[in-house]
Amino acid sequence: MSGLGFINPFGVRELPGTTTGDFYTANFAQKAQPGRVILNLGPQHPSTHGVLRILAEMEGEYVWRAEPVLGYLHRMHERMAEVKTPQQFLPNMGRVDYLHPLAWNWAYVGAVEKLAGLEPPERAQWLRTLSCELNRISSHLLWWGAFVMDLGGVTPILYAFEEREKINDILQIITGSRLTMSYFRLGGVCADADDRFLALTREFVPYLRERLKMYRGLVTDNVILRRRLEGVGPIDVDMCRRYGATGPVLRAAGSPNDLRRDVPYGTYPQHDFWPATGFPDDCFGRYLVRLAEIESSLDIVEQAVRGLPPGPIMVDKPPKANFKMPAGETYFAVEGARGQVGVHLVSDGGKNPYRVKLRAPGFSNLSLFAEAAQGTLLADAVAILGSLDLVIPEIDR
């Protein structure tokens, strides 16, 4: 090896010290300034919450350049959607985002129903809203515990899983699952809410509201946490627009954009709630937005239980296995825990979709990380990364 490095098997000149033979590392290192260190964060690092890899150009403790490397968990969901019928593919959606699978359930069945002209019964719509909001709360709780753990606090994640298990106990009654749920069906839902489900849900709402008060004293008002997050990683509306960031990241930046209100679907127009905004655009603001959304979702859940109408949970003639979608294309989007979950579906009139494109909010949210982390301390970059609430299977798809 000379002072100028060597040519690796990919045809890229690799600098001294980058002896892995890895294309991304070598290419990234070529652009590094002399005297700076190339650091791999992941893909097996706990702060990345999965097989996400971040290449960082460091000068001391400061990040001067960062580049996410994706694809370690790519499973070809879109291709699988094109060789399966809608009924066969639906369980895949719970595996795209295992923390808020019911949002992806809804996006896919909503796209097929929109193209086929199916209108689910009113009770099914209320159950979709109710289950999706319970699932949103469980997703935010896990993020809360994992985010604080990234910053050095281990205790909160134990509380988060305690509450999450209670929600899973409730959702298991109607979905039959605790993680990769597949509850929605074309034209309705697969199971009705029984008295036990409704009773446990009614008990859970006031219980969690009391626990949130404890979380505020234990974590939110903790001076150590606040000094780690306040003023760190500001992300304004302009940056969100440039990268397509949505959900809590965009709302913390000051935009009240929320598909549940702006492009209403399901029974959300009948619920009294307002998107959580008015917080700082830093890491602490993104923290506060998600806690406020838990309270907002509790309000929606309470209203849904109280207003749940009687009636069927499935259309009179649900699509059969040989169901053929009309030729055409459609797009349906819902508000997931991480932002806009969208499904663009194209049909040529056959049993399988001709093309399915999944819009994953985490992919767009992660895209702004390189700009947001530039010039920050490495510890602050970890905080910024955690504040984006990334689910890697969703990003890689």
Q: Are residues 64 and 170 in the same domain?
A: no
- My answer on whether 48 and 178 are in the same domain is no
Do 341 and 281 have their domain in common? yes
Grade residue 281 by pLDDT with cuts at 50, 70 and 90: confident
- Measured between alpha carbons, how far is 310 from 387 in angstroms, rounded to an integer? 40
**pLDDT for the residue 31:** 66
Whole-number average pLDDT of the chain: 87
158 and 278, same domain (yes or no) = yes
pLDDT confidence of residue 108: 95
- Rounded distance, CA 67 to CA 385, Å? 12
Q: What is the pLDDT of residues 31-45, one digit of tens each?
A: 666 777 777 877 766
Predicted confidence at residue 318, as pLDDT, reads 84
Residue 68's pLDDT band (boundaries 50, 70, 90)?
confident
Predicted confidence (pLDDT) at residue 8 exceeds the cutoff of 50:
no
Model confidence band, residue 23 (pLDDT cutoffs 50, 70, 90): low
For residue 45, the model assigns a pLDDT of 63
Backbone dihedral angles phi then psi of residue 375, each to the nearest 5 degrees: 85, 5
Per the CB < 8 A criterion, the answer to whether 337 and 247 are in contact is yes
- Whether residue 191 sits in one domain with residue 89: yes
Residues 12 and 100 grouped into a single domain: no
Domain boundary among 15, 35, 69: 69
**Does 312 fall in a domain?**
yes
151 and 273, same domain (yes or no): yes
Average pLDDT over residues 100-109: 94
Same domain, 109 and 252: yes
Question: Could you tell me the residue range of the domain that residue 386 belongs to?
Answer: 77-396
Q: What is the mean pLDDT of residues 155-159?
A: 91
If one compares 67 and 110, the residue with the highest pLDDT of the two is: 110
Whether 384 maps to a domain, the answer reads yes
d(CA 395, CA 254): 24
Last residue of a domain, one of 46, 69, 92: 69
* Co-location of 227 and 349 in the same domain: yes
The type of residue at 99 is L
Report the C-alpha dihedral over residues 320, 322, 324, 325, rounded to 10 degrees.
40
pLDDT tens figures, 127-142: 999 999 999 999 999 9
pLDDT digits (tens, 9 = 90+) for 195-245: 999 999 999 999 999 999 999 999 999 999 999 999 888 999 999 999 999
Q: What is the radius of gyration, based on Cα positions, of the chain?
A: 22
Whether residues 120 and 222 fall in one domain: yes
Residue 284 lies in a domain: yes
Task: Output the domain CATH number for residue 191.
Answer: 1.10.645.10
Give yes or no: residues 42 and 90 share one domain: no
pLDDT digits (tens, 9 = 90+) for 342-371: 999 999 998 999 999 999 999 999 999 989
- Contact yes or no for 228/150 (Cβ under 8 A): no
Tell me: do 210 and 281 sit in the same domain. yes
Q: Name the band, by pLDDT with cuts 50, 70 and 90, for residue 12.
A: very low
**Is residue 388 situated within a structural domain?**
yes
Tell me how far apart the alpha carbons of residues 390 and 370 are, in angstroms, rounded to a whole number.
14
Residue 172 in domain? yes
Number of compact structural domains in the chain? 2
Residue 1 lies in a domain: no
> At a CB cut-off of 8 Å and minimum separation 6, what does 165 contact?
none
pLDDT digits (tens, 9 = 90+) for 297-352: 999 999 999 999 999 999 988 888 888 899 999 999 999 999 999 999 999 998 99
* Boundary-marking domain end, from 20, 42, 69: 69
Question: What local confidence, expressed as pLDDT, does residue 28 receive?
Answer: 66
- pLDDT score at 102: 95
